[in-house]
Chain A
Amino acid sequence: MSIALRTRTRRGRITGADDAAVADDVSFPAAVRPRLFLLDPVCVLPFGHNVPSLNYYRRYLSARFDVVSPFVCRHLPEQVEDAAEFRRHFEFYYRDFIRIAAPETPLPEGPGHSSDRLLQCARRDVATLLAEHGVGGEDRVFVPSADYYLVRALIDELLLRAPVNRPRLFLRFIGVMEGASRSVAAPFEELLSGLRGAIAGGLPISLAAETPSYADLLSVRTGRPVATVPYPLIGEQMKLPADPVLRIYSAGSARFDKGYLDLLDIARAVACAPFAERVAFTIQMLPDADLRSVQTYTSQLYACPGVTLLPAILTGAEIQHEYRRSHAVIMPYDAGIYRMRGSAILMEAIAYGRSVLTGDGTAFAPQVRHYGNGAVCRSPAEYLAAIEALLAMPAAEAELRLAQARARFAIDTDAAYQNWIR
């Protein structure tokens, strides 16, 4: 513990060793607890995980910070449920990667390549936010899903400030948008280089990653300890349904890298098994842009006994309903794409008390093994065996095992956040 190296100022600001990965258990008195600014400029789509996960964080961290202010992309539709507490602030910097419905607005004028103008735009957004809200050295800025432009803009803007006016930055890497730029040949390397420079320049930065594998990689590349912090556990455990049919849910808008094209082999194997009539799959389809190219495959899924297809986009209530009526979620995610990435679906499944069936080689497969909330499978035959094992497990035992996994995950996650973000 490094508590001996630290002192607290009269208003609660911690000085001294500033590495949160080895932080102590100092907490702030209620009256002087810092404000937390929760930033996600990629939170723009009315579906997907950005909105719910930001809400997870807002609620979860509200217990420890008096003020938790989420700031999102200003193009997030106002009709989006659960986004009432968000402030729409950032321009959208990732039109090259994600198509959104909002019209483009002129970027700030400036010399150089258009993508540099994206960085200028991000810097302008960050500077405005910091100025308008008087963000100072006693505040905390938390980026739960680090993205290229926000991180670079934060670094650039904060380095311009005197050390006493620099809020502590908590950057959580999830392996999705960190390299999302067309302006440089190796944006992720550029980002890491910027981080190393910022750390050397004295910016108070704490790093975390969603998975242990990614944390290890970042640690080697930045020369700093990197914490591992999954999504916080929010959501009550649901009782397993009494339905004699084992319902397996492929949750979330489908994607090729989430194993959409592997689902048919698994469903076919189950349909031909002796216990086929006791198993049902509910699968959310691909978004239209992707669905167009795999209609023949999707028709075969549609024809497969025991399979029900759902639209790519469901409301929050519909997703809750599907979790409630399911026993397990299936996640045959691509090992290459998810070599470093975690999964919000995994967190939801643990929170709601649902088993997870997933492929091997992803960064979160070891988490499934560790928490014991499901099975890691390498082939349709192994998925079949895992499903048969779930069928054979008495409901009471399954409930207890999932509760145990949930409790273990909650303890680990709470400890990780307590230690990392403060």
Chain B
Amino acid sequence: MLRILFVDHGFHERTASSRFMQDILRRHFDVACVLVDPAAPDPAALTVAPDVFAVVLWQLDYLAPVFLAQGVRTLVVPMYDGSANLPDEHWIAARGAGLLNFSRALHERTRMLGLSSLLVKYFPPPVAEAALPRFDTLRGFLWRRRPQEGIDLPLVRTLFGAQLATLHVHDVPDDPALALRDAIDPADHPYPITTSTWFADRAAYLAQLDACNVFIAPRPAEGIGMAMLEAMARGMLVVANDLPTHSEYICNWVNGVLFNTHAPGPAGFAEAAAIARRGWRSACDGHAAWLVQSETIAGYLESLRPPPPLPARDLDRVMRMIPRAFARGATAYEHAVTGLVELRLLDADVGAPDTPPVRAWPRTAPLLMPHHAADAELGAIDFAQGAAQPFLRHGWSFPEAGWTWVEGLRASLAFRLPHLPAGDLGILCIAWTAHAQHPAPLVIGVLVNGHFVQQLRPDDSATELRLRVPRFMLRDDADNEVGFLMSSSFAAAHDGRRISCAFCRLQFFDLAAPCGEPAPAGLLELVA
């Protein structure tokens, strides 16, 4: 049997939520399990032995580059609740891995970013029809797990009002400090409330579940949604927040009910029995389909190809950088992974799949033409109304009124200089972006003729960004190519484009030349 390494979060040792996947893999592979504590990374523990056929990362998708860098075939099982808000670079850095997605939203996002993904839909075994709950009254079950995110007693009262006959509150929040401190005042609720904390065993939990017929899903979003699916398979009416994976299992008011924690309102549950029964039917059909799907996972894993390992120096950098940055928090991790993506972009020429097709450009780039011969200005490229078109190479969208967007994560343009400047080349770049649309502030890496120059951070409005290009990077007898590498892109509101930064104008100056006219603000500082 081929040997695989199952890398899991230490927390799951207690919840055993990955056990079913390990069982599936054990039917085909010799599975060794490694538990990782993301808060205390130990790079040495992540070194893979040569006899390991593949690594399976359960939820720890941030570690994919670490194993890919070692040249190991890697299967990542990401979870929507943990990974949905991570930037595109998080996924781009995992290219080369295979993804096993339980969330359709994540599947589509990663697929569109160029990753290989297998979408599956898990359902636990359903109970027999004879064991379905009665719906003579509505008896709610609330696992009070994330009260700080709005799924708490007031929400249940708003949704159900007096339609509930009873409510059981399983009071074990992820943050123990948020447990109920005082007894619930019966006057605050139109139904009697009972409570519990951790049950002695699973049977006790299921017995309490069977006493109820309405299950209020405990978290705003889920990776798979085991508790929700278990309730659905037991014939309970599942009521859940309208985010994946809830919204990928529940078709609203058909086989469950979706609410919005930000704007909950009273709802009528007269059809509860019929909806719950359709939920149970979904679980019956879904479980049968899952049994077939689960048999394809091993084949998918075997079909993955191991990537080429990184050279020792880069490997060491990746193995140290990524786990530590993740342990330091979101900002540090995003910075690190963006750097990693830039490294890969430069070395491996890995382009975003949504980058527009390469445009055919003239054999030589246009010459920059100064407005005034005596000026320090060597020329300008104006992106308004298509004036820049002769200079643009790949990655640019169509010209708009005052700017041109970069489509995807990379763009380039080229120009020729009439002569080499006496000093360094100053570029005044006027650009902007829509920061609210980016997962993190946009950072642009600028390259000139393959040399990294510096990073730019555009603002929400058109602002001047300054670049100083050392003279040695320039060519006077050939095209000078400027490349822009974006840290992220976003979907434009009204069309299918995925855009990142809007460029208005680039102005080029010889920083050693005397200024014939007052230089733009900022350039003086640059010259100085």
Interface residue ranges, A against B (CB under 8 Å): 99-106, 268, 271-272, 276-277, 288-293, 295-296, 298-300, 302-305
Contact = CB atoms under 8 A, between A and B. Distances in A.
Interface stretch (B43-51, B129-137, B247-255, B335-343): B247-255
Contacts of A272: 254, 274, 278
B358 interface: yes
Nearest to A304: B251
Given A102-B357, A305-B282, A300 B112 contact: no
Contact of A300 (B247, B281, B357, B491): B247
B251 A305 contact: yes
Interface in B250-270: 250-252, 254-255
Nearest to B112: A288
> Which residue among A105, A292, A293, A303 has the maximum number of chain B CB atoms within 10 Å of its CB?
A303
B247 A299 contact: yes
Contact of A305 (B112, B244, B247, B278): B278
A302 B278 CA distance: 15
Nearest to B494: A293
Interface in B144-165: none
Contacts of A101: 357
B359 A104 contact: yes
13 contacts: A99-B357, A104-B359, A106-B360, A271-B255, A288-B112, A290-B496, A293-B491, A293-B496, A299-B247, A300-B247, A300-B252, A303-B251, A305-B282
A289 B278 contact: no
Interface of B: 104-105, 108, 112, 244, 247-252, 254-255, 274, 278, 281-282, 285, 354, 356-360, 491, 496, 498
B111 to A, nearest CB: 8
Given A104-B359, A290-B496, A305-B255, A299 B491 contact: no
Contacts of B278: 271-272, 276, 305
B298 to A, nearest CB: 23
Contacts of A277: 281
A104 B252 CA distance: 46
A272 B14 CA distance: 39
A305 B252 CA distance: 11
Contacts of B491: 292-293
A104 B360 contact: yes
Contacts of B498: 292
Contacts of A304: 251, 254
Contacts of A99: 356-357
Nearest to A264: B251
A381 to B, nearest CB: 16
B105 A299 contact: yes
A105 B360 CA distance: 6
Contacts of B249: 303
Contact of A299 (B248, B359, B496): B248
A271 B357 contact: no
Contacts of A104: 359-360
> Which residue among B108, B254, B356 has the maximum number of chain A CB atoms within 10 Å of its CB?
B254
Nearest to A293: B491
A303 B281 contact: no
Q: Which 4 A-B pairs have the closest CB atoms?
A: A289-B496, A304-B251, A303-B251, A103-B360
A220 to B, nearest CB: 36
Contacts of B360: 103-106
Contacts of A300: 247, 251-252
B438 to A, nearest CB: 16
Contacts of A303: 247-251, 254-255
A369 B507 CA distance: 65
Contacts of A299: 104-105, 244, 247-248
B77 to A, nearest CB: 19
Contacts of A102: 357
Given A101-B357, A103-B357, A104-B360, A302 B254 contact: no
B363 to A, nearest CB: 11
A268 B251 contact: yes
B358 A305 contact: no
A101 B353 CA distance: 12
Given A290-B496, A292-B496, A302 B248 contact: yes
Given A303-B248, A303-B255, 18 more contacts: A99-B357, A100-B357, A103-B357, A106-B360, A268-B251, A271-B255, A288-B496, A295-B108, A299-B104, A299-B244, A300-B252, A303-B247, A303-B249, A303-B250, A303-B254, A304-B251, A305-B281, A305-B285
A288 B104 CA distance: 14
Contact of A295 (B105, B282, B496): B105
B283 to A, nearest CB: 10
Nearest to A277: B281
Contacts of B247: 296, 299-300, 303
Nearest to A307: B251
Nearest to A106: B360
A288 B496 CA distance: 8
B362 to A, nearest CB: 9
A304 B108 CA distance: 18
B251 A271 contact: yes
> Which residue among A100, A271, A288, A292 has the maximum number of chain B CB atoms within 10 Å of its CB?
A292
Nearest to A268: B254
Nearest to A272: B254
A106 B362 CA distance: 9
A272 B251 CA distance: 11
Contacts of B282: 305
A264 B491 CA distance: 24
A296 to B, nearest CB: 7
A292 B358 CA distance: 23
> Which residue among B244, B274, B356, B496 has the maximum number of chain A CB atoms within 10 Å of its CB?
B496
A112 B244 CA distance: 53
Nearest to B246: A303
A105 B358 CA distance: 11
A288 B495 CA distance: 11
A276 to B, nearest CB: 8
A295 B274 CA distance: 27
A229 B295 CA distance: 49
B259 to A, nearest CB: 14
Nearest to A105: B360
> Which residue among A277, A289, A298 has the maximum number of chain B CB atoms within 10 Å of its CB?
A289
Nearest to B252: A300
Given A104-B360, A271-B278, A291 B285 contact: no
Nearest to B495: A289
Contacts of A100: 357
A103 to B, nearest CB: 5
Contacts of B274: 272
B104 A298 contact: yes
Nearest to B111: A288
Given A277-B281, A295-B105, A305 B359 contact: no
A300 B258 CA distance: 11
A215 to B, nearest CB: 34
Contacts of B285: 305
B254 A103 contact: no
Nearest to B244: A299
Contacts of B358: 103
Nearest to B362: A106
Nearest to B247: A299
A154 B244 CA distance: 54
A46 to B, nearest CB: 14
A271 B359 contact: no
